[in-house]
Amino acid sequence: MTTCSFCGREIDSEPIRDNGEVFCSRGCQQGETRTSGAHIEHTPETTQQTDGETAYFSISGMHTHACESYLERRAVTLDGVSGASASYTAEMMRVSYDPEAVERDTIEDTLSAWGYRASAPTPEETPADRNDFDFDHLRTIFSVIAVAPIYIIYAAFFYPVYLGLLPTSSLDNHAIVTGLYGPVAMFTTITIFGVGFPILRSAYISLHERQLTVDVLISITAVSAYAYSMVSLLYLDRLYLFFDIATAVIVLTTIGNHARARYKRQAVEDLTEFVDETETAARRLLEDGTTTIVPPEDCTTGDRLLVRPGERIPLDGTIVDGRGTVNEALITGEARPQRKVVGDTVIGGSIAADGSFEITVDEGATSTLDRLRDLVWDLQTEQSPAERLTNRVTAIYIPVVCVFALVTLGAWTVAGAPAEPALRTALTVLIIACPVSLSLVTPLAVGRGLSTAAERDVPVFDQTILERVTDADVIAFDKTGTLTTGEMRVAAVHAVEECDSKAVLRRAAAVESRSSHPIAAAIRDRAPDRSQAVTSFERYRYGVVADVDASRTAVGNPALFDDLNWSIPEAIRDTIDRVRDRGELPTVVGWEGTATGVITLEDQPREKWTETVAELAADDRQIVVITGDDSRVARQFEAHPDVSKVYADVPPEAKEELVRRLRDEGVVAMVGDGTNDAPALAAADLGVAMVSGSDFTVTVADALVTADDLTPFRDLFGIARGTRRRLLENLGLALTVPAIGVPLAAVGFVTPLVATTLMATGTILVLANSYRPLTSNL
């Protein structure tokens, strides 16, 4: 079988030959000409399937990414568990296991240890639906209440002495102070080992997993201050008690973690809410050929359902009519779309990439909702480059600080200083270098960016897009549904003399009842009656073909009729030319081998598209437009001074290859509606989809535009710049204090009280800076 030199698809009809190469269509031939010289290497993709079942667990008590490794190790120690993946971000765990070798309850019990609690989510539960009782919020409030008495006592009695306002003898001579040592120590113990338990546990697990996280240094600092204070209280002069410092480290970390968790949960909730809204209703076929929309749970075994291109398959079933390709990556992990014909089974939750078909619901069918958790999981578990960079910096920062503190202790000891001031100075180094603020730098900056993006109608699925979008060199817009509204309107219906225009419209609507394209919707809305029987629906490069009342009928671009070797009367060709010259879109209808009419459609450009293109091009980006329509239809876009090139007559399957070739010119951001450009969105470095598109966009897009214009897409670049700037600001605030304070503390110029104040100030500044709106950066 001959394959197209441009898109790689098999050629069923007579190929077009040019310079020793063969093409399936004129669009592919033009695409090859316009991108000649580019070289694409195709790397085979492989996937690994595992037998058994997959179980999801809600995990409470996760504190850092080190918890992921610990839980994964515990799970795989069980016989019968073949794989485990934990997500601190999603607060979930996915376990692959053999149900004959190990029970689900056993896995749950194994994971529920050391303060973790594993539970089986309900079928409707998603990452945003757990923890109705917010223990993080309670812990934060309790920490403030627990330390309040400590700071009241310190403010009344200790701080005046430390600041030189009262003599040191007042601490020993004051009967009230002497009686309050015990309560202070008690409240500190509760705070350190109660409120701070997740932090201490995380530090232990990090060391156990041979990972250095910020919780390690935070725990060392807090426990060191607590131990020093207890020893001083029991055996020394009670002058320097650092219970306030120990609790400050724990409380500030708890508050910061709570702020970080709020951003994280809000991001998951925003995503989950959108995914829940994408659950596909079922199109049940009635005996007269029409369809009715019903919830998937109302379907029973044997019901016939219609699935259109780009739609999510609502239930497991078997194809009884039609054919097409199905994307099952969400469920099976198989990256390549699977070709499906009559008799093949399809999986609920997979996507009809192209083609339309009828299915019968299988017995015990699984619905789309049962598989939505996979999508939320995959979209939320990847760490951003900034997070990975922060983790690498932390892995260096922590041992350097610890070594510096030990060197300080050794230097003071060698210099002849008594043990107490030497230990106090080393502790001061740890306090001022405590990375409470450093742990908040990335998550709070990215969290602010994600929340701002959601507020600006451009929800982000992949948080790494905030770090990558500004690197885009080429921005490719799909025309229909992106630069235009996609809300097609039938302007006129032209028919040959011997044919009725109503018959043309009625037949076209019958065929288009199986399609989800905006053109199909416009034709269906205009047609008065669509009760004809439709079978053998097929999707071609330039249109669709089906049997209408046993008569083969084609609807689509004039090139479709050339590919089918159907005749187009001269009168029809003249009509097509007149329509295109007016900038309108002609859709040709014909049956039994001859074109019999033309349906003229209008589509309006989106508001502010010219301003958006101009602003994006101002940063030396190349703007290109891709369309399957004739170049005359795209004339107004080609006339824009900032549009570098318009690729016209590009069929859907060639858009993906065109995007791959554009990537040779730099980083490509693709913007489409997902109706017939979802593979191109997936092929781009960055995929942004209009929310009005198909369900397929949810599985391939990095971000969505939920507004009626392209302004949110433009704003995404400003949000990304603002997020990067905010991250650098936070990093500067977090590192400035230790950079200046550590050397001063090492030589004794900074007291523990001042060190604590500076550390707290740095943390508060990072928190305050992160909560500032990003609007000034847009």
Six token digits for residue 527 = 């047609």
Distant-in-sequence, close-in-space partners of 63: CB < 8 Å, separation ≥ 6: 88, 198, 199, 201, 202, 215, 257
Q: What is the pLDDT of residue 296?
A: 77
Judged on CB neighbours under 10 Å (0-12, 13-18, 19+), 274 is: middle
* Cα separation, 583 vs 586, whole angstroms: 10
Active site residues: 478
Q: What is the pLDDT of residue 470?
A: 85
- CA–CA–CA angle 441, 729, 245 (5° rounding): 55
Judged on CB neighbours under 10 Å (0-12, 13-18, 19+), 288 is: exposed
Q: At which residue do the structure tokens 């892995």 appear?
A: 395
The predicted-structure confidence for 411-426, as pLDDT tens digits, reads as follows 999 999 888 889 989 9
**Residue 26 reports pLDDT greater than 80:** no
**Residue 775 reports pLDDT greater than 60:** yes
* Cα separation, 268 vs 271, whole angstroms: 5
Q: What is the pLDDT of residue 129?
A: 47
Farthest CA pair distance, the chain: 115
Looking at the chain, the whole-number percentage of residues with pLDDT higher than 70 is 79
How high is the mean pLDDT of the chain?
A: 79
Task: Please name the fold of domain 465-484+605-701.
Answer: Rossmann fold (3.40.50)
Q: What is the pLDDT of residue 226?
A: 94
Of 90, 118, 122, the C-alpha closest to 106 is 118
Provide the residue ranges of all domains of the chain, joining segments of one domain with +.
1-37, 53-103, 135-272+381-447+722-777, 465-484+605-701, 489-602
Partners of 483 in the beta sheet?
none
| Whether the Cβ atoms of residue 390 and residue 441 lie closer than 8 Å to each other | yes
CATH level 2 (architecture), domain 489-602 = 3-Layer(aba) Sandwich (3.40)
CATH of 53-103, picked from 3.40.50.300, 3.30.1490.20, 3.30.930.10, 3.30.70.100, is 3.30.70.100
Q: At which residue do the structure tokens 């539970």 appear?
A: 119
User: What are the DSSP E strand ranges found in 658-771?
Assistant: 668-672, 686-690, 703-705
Say which DSSP state 497 is in.
Answer: T
- R_g of the chain, CA atoms, integer Å: 32
Least confident residue range of 60-64, 409-413, 730-734: 60-64
* Cα separation, 242 vs 248, whole angstroms: 10
Say which DSSP state 64 is in.
Answer: S
**Residue 159 is which amino acid?**
Y
Distant-in-sequence, close-in-space partners of 561: CB < 8 Å, separation ≥ 6: 554, 567, 568, 588, 590, 595
Which is higher by pLDDT, 36 or 217?
217
Torsion of CA 253, 255, 256, 260, to 10 degrees: 130
Q: What is the pLDDT of residue 475?
A: 93
Six token digits for residue 731 = 């990093």
Q: What is the pLDDT of residue 16?
A: 61
